[in-house]
Structure 1
């Protein structure tokens, strides 16, 4: 299954670290292995918004912890992972980039996502409000100079927003609008200006934004309309917590899977039991798998997710989205956002990243760049 199409009786052949053949068994000229009934072969998943796992957060973990978090997601089929940071003082962000940039260079991570610090204090969610600052071109240039950054979330109403987008473009980094309190008009104007320069996304649509209403459509309506026009891709945290299933299904119906990137927004508690964790500088309490800022009454803001991307795909299918669409939104669409044409698809010449699942989308094996990182027990 790849690119939104399905082969019911398919064969996948790997040559080195590349896909050599992907297609119907009837068209395969070589010997065939024993069939694997009830197994799905999916492209390796691509998560462009993830803060950690396995007890380790990308905003604060040492290098070994970063690797453990990435390995947890890899074992669940996420073969391309962007490590997300949160808003923090400039010196701390530079220190984190110095830790993560070598891992990006080595191919262990697909890049770093700066979620802030140029965000709206009114819609900061689980971001530390003390770390938020207006748009600062010198600060951004300094962070990009450290290396590793492939994307950044900024509020469209922040100071110098258009100039910040231009600087990101200069460095080949993806601008993403989010954590915003802007009106629909301000958001639309920012999108149209930014979309003219290339790839563009909206960070976790609905979350970190005012709700859409009849007389104040806000950034949600602006982003949906822009996605329908093909001007940007909307992230959805379709984990059953951040969004109602009907909301997820409606967005797919409105804009199509080619304009949706499913993400986890996962934090250190992914793959871990309930308890106390941190997201950057802020304490988080996880109860029943739901992470919230620890405010004493259990009503704090949602503080990232605890699901892996394959879990998000499973929730999305359960919401009524066709499996090919859900898979495309977790593979080819986010890969396109990152400008990576050789991942997120099972086509000849693509990197051999494969997630094998059972019929219930439970992972059984994972192949990355032609090498098994998890194999099904016989």
Structure 2
């Protein structure tokens, strides 16, 4: 079946142009400017951006990926798809190794089905001093052999490991992750600038939610933030919800790293799309009030209730990115992190027809995944 989307403002990495695109068998076949060569589905001048790619997400719609519950995971994916996320990695949190294995094995089924794009172990190899909403009693020293158990449980779908570079065994575990084709991400870390550089040299290429759960940027002790921003090998995640990071610091990171090394993420937990109330993240109780998730005991931020459309909108309206820059940070850069930028992440011929239709106010008017409407404009 062939479909033409006409009367659109198409957002590509090169700019925004009035035009059209055609879709066949789930893929974009043509992208053109001006009037479409044939009648099609008019978008009435609304924007079209590539489907969002979220590489750090713990759940939504009341469901939590760390439980491994497949029905809850499906509900979370559906919620985020309606908000424009067409590709998503499921993030787990610190737990016992057997529980992590069980959750990874269960969610691997959904990866097999194409519902999820992979798995992310955020813990247990993180710093007790910077553990945030992770149970400190369950933290462990990194072990390459133990990590291989987690990789095996994920049946080829483990995409990322968050690890603190300063821990004993961390550098060997980073090397082991790379050997298994798993991205090593530095985060939840009390590392110095020099220890962070060691982690990068060992093979780490991602910064887990930059600024959060790590020492702040300092002019005498620059810490991990400076090391991660300045190294061209590293992509930095940012939770752009106005709670985790001030817009000025998002702007600073985007300026230092550039859109090509900046990936917007949600770090969403079960309360995304589900409202305020009491929730659980891993083994810990979370209270959500005013859309902000915090540990019931201690008050640490415990993920977010963010969706990618809101992160994109804030990037333009509050941070000051252009539409093409925001689309790169929300789609193309995270797609490249996953090694999927040849098929998703931007609007171009021969790529998957993963699209988000936005109003002038950048609100979601429609979402398409693989050529089929999730919500039709």
The Cα offsets for residues 200-226 of structure 1, whole Å up to 9 and x where unpaired, read as 110000001011122221111111111
Distance 1:333 1:32 in 2: 33
Residues 1:152 and 2:157 are matched in the alignment: no
2:215 aligned partner = 210
Distance 2:44 2:375 in 1: 19
1:69 aligned partner = 76
SS in 2 for 1:48: strand
Residues 1:308 and 2:307 are matched in the alignment: yes
1:43 aligned partner = 50
Equivalences for residues 244-283 of structure 1 within 5 A: 244-283=246-285
Distance 1:23 1:48 in 2: 30
The Cα offsets for residues 300-340 of structure 1, whole Å up to 9 and x where unpaired, read as 11000101011111111122122211111010000000000
8 Å CA contact 1:277, 1:283 repeated in 2: yes
Moved more, 80-89 or 358-367: 358-367
8 Å CA contact 1:353, 1:368 repeated in 2: yes
Q: 1:164: Cα distance to partner?
A: 1.4
Moved more, 2-11 or 73-82: 2-11
Distance 2:34 2:15 in 1: 13
Equivalences for residues 160-179 of structure 1 within 5 A: 160-179=169-188
8 Å CA contact 2:53, 2:331 repeated in 1: yes
Distance 1:317 1:240 in 2: 13
Gaps of 5+ in 1: none
RMSD (Å), alpha carbons: 1.4
2:6 aligned partner = none
Distance 1:24 1:174 in 2: 38
Q: 1:2: Cα distance to partner?
A: 4.8
SS in 2 for 1:59: helix
Residues 1:238 and 2:240 are matched in the alignment: yes
The Cα offsets for residues 124-153 of structure 1, whole Å up to 9 and x where unpaired, read as 011111111001112100110112211110
Distance 1:44 1:304 in 2: 22
2:133 aligned partner = 126
Moved over 4 A (4+): none
**Higher-strand-fraction structure:** 2
SS in 1 for 2:15: coil
Equivalences for residues 5-84 of structure 1 within 5 A: 5-25=14-34, 30-33=37-40, 35-60=42-67, 62-84=69-91
Residues 1:102 and 2:109 are matched in the alignment: yes
Which TM-score applies when normalising by structure 1? 0.93
Distance 1:328 1:7 in 2: 13
1:327 aligned partner = 327
Gaps of 5+ in 2: 1-9
